[in-house]
Amino acid sequence: MYHSQRILNSSSPATEGGEGIVLDLWYQERHNDEISLGLHVKKVLATKQSPFQRVDVMETSGFGRILTLDGLMMVTERDEFVYHEMIAHVPCLVHKKPERVLVIGGGDGGTLREVLRHDSVKEAVLCEIDPEVVSLSRQYLPFTAVGLNHPRAKVNIADGVEFVKNSADHSFDIVIVDSTDPIGPGVGLFSGAFYKEVRRILKPDGIVMAQCESPWENGIDLAKVYGNLREVGQVWAFSGSIPTYPFGFWSWAFASATAHPYEVIDMERARAIEKSTRYYNTEIHRGSFALPNFLKQRLKGVVSNA
Amino acid sequence: MYHSQRILNSSSPATEGGEGIVLDLWYQERHNDEISLGLHVKKVLATKQSPFQRVDVMETSGFGRILTLDGLMMVTERDEFVYHEMIAHVPCLVHKKPERVLVIGGGDGGTLREVLRHDSVKEAVLCEIDPEVVSLSRQYLPFTAVGLNHPRAKVNIADGVEFVKNSADHSFDIVIVDSTDPIGPGVGLFSGAFYKEVRRILKPDGIVMAQCESPWENGIDLAKVYGNLREVGQVWAFSGSIPTYPFGFWSWAFASATAHPYEVIDMERARAIEKSTRYYNTEIHRGSFALPNFLKQRLKGVVSNA
């Protein structure tokens, strides 16, 4: 996933460690054979091969520190707030009083950080399969790892599918599936069987939230990804701008047997949360459920807002 | 702006014309020294140096035909509909009865194509500075050039600033500034003096629309770009997902002395238009005026929805 090139006259910021000759180092993510994203890298900070995946941490010149898994972008310091604010505040501000929240995946801690801004949350439980992700995040990504170290956070290193199977009935108000893509270790988190189990551990008025890839991605059957969430109840899609994710545009599912995702937002709690957010506000909350026609076509009959 | 590399074992689709050895040709747009977009190129179809700029047309493997000006992405066949639908239908469906519309820039014809879906429009006048853009679009981009060839389109090759100066008072219902970036030939289309003249040629209940760069772009003073539109009246910002533009997220200004951008949308006309659109619908219309907190901060005191 790396492409490096020695050049004598670079207009790019110098990569650390060079003397005279500049190393023009770019992280290149080919989303597929057709489109790629490049970020200029100042320094590769860590590279680990865990039993699950390759984990890299880099310092970039424009996006701060970044974390990639198997060469795919997971977190950048500059734009991670969009993903983490949306996946946390949309369900937490719709739920009347979220007390127990489960985050599956999300080993960087960013989702925990946002969930724990809600005072009603007594315990935010994380279940991350790869200890290397948690450990490298603690070492290099303090801006998200702050969530891992929060007194009301409980970090488990375990397989999410197994963890859900072993959890008690009706034990969580909100379950957030903060997974990687539906390839590699994250694949089980996209199945209907998994969501059936998620419903079992969810309280009757609970909410499930899941990242659901880019609306522009034709290599994934979005209707199937969203459709599997119907095991939980009714499903809605929403979207947001994330420059460093494929196509710069991401989507999430909101699923619940009882709750509507934007008819009633707790405005008093929202006003307090909005003071700390950089993306989320209640207009964005509602507006993000407006889907472009091409996405409505892909999700017709599957999500309630298509 | 091109980066090509000879490789023996490429997983990319073959570039046309190769025999045995595959040419792995990528268009790379460095938005700045920190981030870049790459598109795999099957074939470079045309390269012209006009008196104004370098114009290139390429066939890509994932985004169809693309047009770049001075190496910067203007149009791709796959995602151009977002930009052209939003810049045309937002003002046309808010205006009670748009009859005369002026498009400044937009030599590819895409904006004309969408404006002319509105039956009330008697004449859509284009003013493009560079005949090479019009000519290459007619030759290679039939999907947008259809707008240039429409019987109610009137194509002028002229400097937009001069054209506006020479236009009569109150002669247009809608003026759409479909410009390049605020560098190069487009720079005059971003000034306050220009918008003062635009207001003069606009009818009293008229609407001005302008592309206003990416909300994520820190290299541009967005408050100034939007602020100059206040010469027209009140200003609002709205945004949308365009994967091949910098940061995958674009913004536009809606400016008017009398009209509000989403309180009243002509729903009957909208229902008809929505049948042909791939991005625009009335929920997207309203939802696109919900601005992320970081953009509100940049535009506070400048636009009415910040």
pLDDT in tens, A34-48: 999 999 999 999 999
Q: Residue A19: CB partners within 8 Å, gap ≥ 6?
A: none
Do A178 and A146 share a structural domain?
Answer: yes
Of A16, A49, A76, which residue is a domain's last?
Answer: A76
Predicted pLDDT of residue B17: 53
Do A127 and A251 share a structural domain?
Answer: yes
CA dist B265 to A38, A292, B81, B258, Å? 40, 17, 20, 14
For chain A, strand residue ranges (E) read: 2-7, 22-30, 35-49, 54-60, 65-69, 72-76, 100-105, 123-128, 153-157, 172-178, 202-211, 234-241, 249-256
Tokens of A101: 């929240």
Residues of A identified as active-site? 178
Tell me the average pLDDT across B125-145.
98
What is the nearest CA distance from B199 to chain A, expressed in angstroms? 30
Contacts of A26 in chain B (CB under 8 A): 36
A63 part of contact set with chain B, CB < 8 Å: yes
Pairwise CA distance, residues B5 & B57, whole Å: 20
pLDDT digits (tens, 9 = 90+) for B176-187: 999 988 777 788
A280 part of contact set with chain B, CB < 8 Å: yes
Contacts of B271 in chain A (CB under 8 A): none
Pairwise CA distance, residues A148 & B198, whole Å: 54
Predicted pLDDT of residue B23: 87
Tell me whether residue B305 is in a domain. no
What is the nearest CA distance from A246 to chain B, expressed in angstroms? 8
HEC string of B198-223 equals HHHHEEEEEEEEEECCCCCCCCCCHH
Name which of A92, A128, A3, A142 is nearest A282 in CA terms. A92
Do B252 and B216 share a structural domain?
Answer: yes
Q: How many CB atoms lie within 10 A of CB B298?
A: 20
Do B64 and B99 share a structural domain?
Answer: no
Tell me the average pLDDT across B228-238.
97
Do B108 and B64 share a structural domain?
Answer: no
Q: How many CB atoms lie within 10 A of CB B61?
A: 19
Predicted pLDDT of residue A19: 58
Q: Is B79 a catalytic residue?
A: no
Tell me whether residue A61 is in a domain. yes
Do A229 and A92 share a structural domain?
Answer: yes
Which residues face B39 on adjacent strands?
A35, B27
Name which of B274, B282, B279 is nearest B250 in CA terms. B279
Pairwise CA distance, residues B50 & B67, whole Å: 14
Q: Do B216 and A241 touch (CB under 8 A)?
A: yes
Return the number of CB contacts < 8 Å for A and B.
148
Of A16, A51, A76, which residue is a domain's last?
Answer: A76
Tell me whether residue B156 is in a domain. yes
**B133 close to B108: Cβ distance less than 8 angstroms:** yes
More confident site: A13 or A27? A27
Find the range with the poorest average confidence among A13-17, A77-81, A194-198.
Answer: A13-17
**A206 close to A172: Cβ distance less than 8 angstroms:** yes
Predicted pLDDT of residue A5: 30
Q: What is the pTM of this model?
A: 0.93
Tell me the average pLDDT across B219-228.
94
> Chain B neighbours among A 75-94 (CB < 8 Å)?
79, 82
Tell me the average pLDDT across A170-187.
89
What is the nearest CA distance from B39 to chain A, expressed in angstroms? 5
The partner residue sitting opposite B248, judged by closest CB among A243, A278, A281, is: A243
Predicted pLDDT of residue B8: 30
Do B88 and B63 share a structural domain?
Answer: no
The partner residue sitting opposite B36, judged by closest CB among A38, A216, A289, is: A38
Is pLDDT of A3 > 80? no
CATH classification of the domain holding B33: 2.30.140.10
B279 part of contact set with chain A, CB < 8 Å: yes
Predicted pLDDT of residue A2: 29
B204 part of contact set with chain A, CB < 8 Å: no
Which residues face A73 on adjacent strands?
A68
Q: Kindly state the DSSP code that residue A22 receives in the 8-state scheme.
A: E
Tell me the average pLDDT across A184-196.
88
Do B53 and B84 share a structural domain?
Answer: no
Q: Which of B130, B178, B181, B266 is catalytic?
A: B178
Domains of chain A: total: 2
Contacts of B289 in chain A (CB under 8 A): 283, 287
Predicted pLDDT of residue A253: 98
Do B241 and B111 share a structural domain?
Answer: yes
Contacts of A279 in chain B (CB under 8 A): 292-294
B294 part of contact set with chain A, CB < 8 Å: yes
Chain A residue with CA closest to B42: the answer is A34
Do A163 and A33 share a structural domain?
Answer: no
Q: Do A279 and B290 touch (CB under 8 A)?
A: no
Interface test with A, best of B22, B41, B58, B283 (most A CBs within 10 A): B283
Q: How many CB atoms lie within 10 A of CB B230?
A: 15
Q: Is B157 helix (H, G, I), strand (E, B) or coil?
A: strand
Is pLDDT of A16 > 80? no
What is the nearest CA distance from B12 to chain A, expressed in angstroms? 5
Predicted pLDDT of residue A183: 73
For chain A, helix (H) and strand (E) counts, in that order, are 10, 13
Q: Do B37 and A36 touch (CB under 8 A)?
A: yes
Buried b (16+ CB within 10 A) or exposed e, B140-171: bbebbbbbbebeebebbbebbbebbeebeeee
Pairwise CA distance, residues B32 & B53, whole Å: 19
Do B218 and B286 share a structural domain?
Answer: yes
Predicted pLDDT of residue A188: 86
For chain B, helix (H) and strand (E) counts, in that order, are 10, 13
Tell me whether residue B14 is in a domain. yes
Q: Do A287 and B292 touch (CB under 8 A)?
A: no
> Chain B neighbours among A 246-265 (CB < 8 Å)?
247-249
Q: Do A249 and B247 touch (CB under 8 A)?
A: no
Contacts of A247 in chain B (CB under 8 A): 241, 243, 248
Placement of tokens 């949350």 in the chain? A121
Q: Kindly state the DSSP code that residue A128 receives in the 8-state scheme.
A: E
B100 phi/psi in degrees, rounded to 5: -120, 120
Tell me whether residue B85 is in a domain. yes
The stretches of A141-292 forming alpha helices (DSSP H) are 142-145, 160-165, 192-201, 222-227, 267-274, 282-287
Pairwise CA distance, residues B105 & A13, whole Å: 34
Tell me whether residue A306 is in a domain. no
Average pLDDT, chain B: 93
Is pLDDT of A7 > 90? no
A243 part of contact set with chain B, CB < 8 Å: yes
Q: Which domain holds residue B25?
A: 2-76
Pairwise CA distance, residues A39 & B30, whole Å: 9
Pairwise CA distance, residues B27 & B73, whole Å: 10
Pairwise CA distance, residues B83 & B183, whole Å: 20
Is pLDDT of A281 > 50? yes
Q: Do B35 and A34 touch (CB under 8 A)?
A: no
Q: Residue A119: CB partners within 8 Å, gap ≥ 6?
A: none
A288 part of contact set with chain B, CB < 8 Å: yes
What is the nearest CA distance from A34 to chain B, expressed in angstroms? 5
Tell me whether residue B269 is in a domain. yes
The partner residue sitting opposite A34, judged by closest CB among B32, B61, B278, is: B61
Tokens of B259: 């009209």
**A207 close to A259: Cβ distance less than 8 angstroms:** yes
